[in-house]
Amino acid sequence: MGEVLSNYGYEVEITPQSRDGGKDLIAIQKGADPVVITYVECKRYKEKRKVSVNIVREYFGVINDAHVEKGMIVTTSGFTKDAIDFAYRNDKRLSLVDKNKLYDWLSEVANWKFSKSNGLIVDPYSQNILTDDIEMIF
């Protein structure tokens, strides 16, 4: 995920795997004035397990407590309706990235090809199937 954000113009710091304070990455928008810091939390969930509103609210608390400008939750699945509604009300500070948006980003940045119907990720150069599990990229 850090590489994806780097390609979108962010300077990325990967936090330690444990005791990360509720963030997996710290993304700093290059060239922004003032500098914009975004905390990124990655949720590696099975497709049927959606990120709940409780997780989103808790994360909103993390970014407020840290006084950072923005927060982003990226998942290999999706979000519950309540989670989406909460993020919508706080959209200036909180972004949700679901499996489909993640596919789009990877297609743009890594030029990978995806079959959204069966979840296959194909290397565009070799045409080899890289994985059939989006979770493998996290």
Strands 94-97, 113-115: parallel, antiparallel or unpaired by DSSP? unpaired
| 51-76 pLDDT per residue, tens | 999 999 999 999 999 999 999 999 98
What is the C-alpha separation between 97 and 75, in angstroms, rounded? 6
Domains located in the chain, CATH noted: 2-137 (3.40.1350.10)
Strands (E), 50-118: 70-75, 94-97, 113-115
Which residue is listed with tokens 């679901």? 98
Is a pLDDT exceeding 60 seen at residue 123?
A: no
Q: Are 64 and 44 contacting, i.e. CB atoms less than 8 angstroms apart?
A: no
* pTM for this model (two decimals): 0.78
What pLDDT, on a 0 to 100 scale, did the predictor assign at position 113? Answer: 55
